[in-house]
Amino acid sequence: MILEFIGAAHEVTGSCHYLNVNGKNILVDYGMEQGKNLFENVDLPVSAGEIDYIFLTHAHIDHSGLLPYAYAKGFRGRIYATNATAKLCSIMLRDSAHIQAFEAEWRNRKARRNANIEEFVPLYTMEDADGAIRLLKPVSYNELINVDQGIDIRFTDVGHLLGSAAIEVFLKEDGVSKKIVFSGDVGNTGQPIIREPQPVDGADYVLIESTYGDRLHSEEKPDYIGELTKILQFTFDRGGNVVIPSFAVGRTQELLYFIREIKEKGLVHGHEDFPVYVDSPLAVDATSIFGKSSLECYDGEAKKLVEKGINPLSFTNLNLSITPDDSRDINTDDEPKVIISASGMCDAGRIRHHLKHNLWRKESTILFVGYQSAGTLGRALYEGARTVKLFGEEISVNASIEILTGMSGHADQKGLLNWAEKSFDPEKTQKIFVVHGEDTVTDKFAALLTEKFGFKTYAPYSGAKYDLIKDELIEETKGIPVVKKVITQKKISTVFERLLAAGERLLSVIRKNEHGANKDLAKFADQINALSDKWDRT
- Residue 209: half-sphere exposure toward Cβ, Cα within 13 Å: 31
Contacts of 431 (CB under 8 A, 6+ apart): 205, 206, 455, 456, 457, 458, 466, 471
- Which stretches of the chain bind Zn ion, using CB under 5 A? 60, 185
**Whole-number Å distance between alpha carbons of 166 and 182:** 6
As a dihedral over the C-alpha atoms of residue 70, residue 71, residue 75, residue 79, rounded to 10 degrees, the angle is: 90
Task: Return the SS3 of 532.
Answer: helix
Beta carbon of residue 55, minimum distance to Zn ion (angstroms, whole number): 15
Beta carbon of residue 250, minimum distance to Zn ion (angstroms, whole number): 9
**Whole-number Å distance between alpha carbons of 367 and 269:** 20
**Whole-number Å distance between alpha carbons of 163 and 329:** 35
β-bridge partners, 209: 435
In the complex with Zn ion, the residue whose CB is nearer, 34 or 400, is 34
Contacts of 458 (CB under 8 A, 6+ apart): 431, 432, 433, 434, 446, 473
Beta carbon of residue 185, minimum distance to Zn ion (angstroms, whole number): 4
Using Cβ positions, the residue closest to Zn ion within the complex turns out to be 60
In the complex with Zn ion, the residue whose CB is nearer, 188 or 241, is 188
CB 180 within 8 A of CB 203: yes
- Residue 378: half-sphere exposure toward Cβ, Cα within 13 Å: 24
Beta carbon of residue 60, minimum distance to Zn ion (angstroms, whole number): 4
Strands 136-139 and 78-82: parallel
Beta carbon of residue 371, minimum distance to Zn ion (angstroms, whole number): 12
In the complex with Zn ion, the residue whose CB is nearer, 70 or 165, is 165
**Whole-number Å distance between alpha carbons of 78 and 36:** 31
Beta carbon of residue 2, minimum distance to Zn ion (angstroms, whole number): 24
In the complex with Zn ion, the residue whose CB is nearer, 185 or 204, is 185
Beta carbon of residue 432, minimum distance to Zn ion (angstroms, whole number): 18
Per-residue exposure over 80-119, b if at least 16 CB sit within 10 Å of its own CB, e if not = bbbbbbbbbbbbbbbbbbebbeeebeebbeeeeeeeeeee
In the complex with Zn ion, the residue whose CB is nearer, 88 or 468, is 88
In the complex with Zn ion, the residue whose CB is nearer, 65 or 240, is 65
Among 81, 37, 39, 87, residue whose Cα is nearest residue 56: 81
In the complex with Zn ion, the residue whose CB is nearer, 1 or 28, is 28
**Whole-number Å distance between alpha carbons of 296 and 165:** 12
Beta carbon of residue 441, minimum distance to Zn ion (angstroms, whole number): 13
Beta carbon of residue 452, minimum distance to Zn ion (angstroms, whole number): 23
As a dihedral over the C-alpha atoms of residue 375, residue 379, residue 384, residue 388, rounded to 10 degrees, the angle is: 60
Identity of residue 205:
Y
Beta carbon of residue 159, minimum distance to Zn ion (angstroms, whole number): 11
Beta carbon of residue 8, minimum distance to Zn ion (angstroms, whole number): 7
DSSP characters over 289-332: HHHHTHHHHB-HHHHHHHHTT--TT--TTEE----HHHHHHTTT
CB 157 within 8 A of CB 141: yes
In the complex with Zn ion, the residue whose CB is nearer, 4 or 185, is 185
In the complex with Zn ion, the residue whose CB is nearer, 60 or 357, is 60
In the complex with Zn ion, the residue whose CB is nearer, 277 or 461, is 461
In the complex with Zn ion, the residue whose CB is nearer, 212 or 257, is 212
**Whole-number Å distance between alpha carbons of 487 and 122:** 9
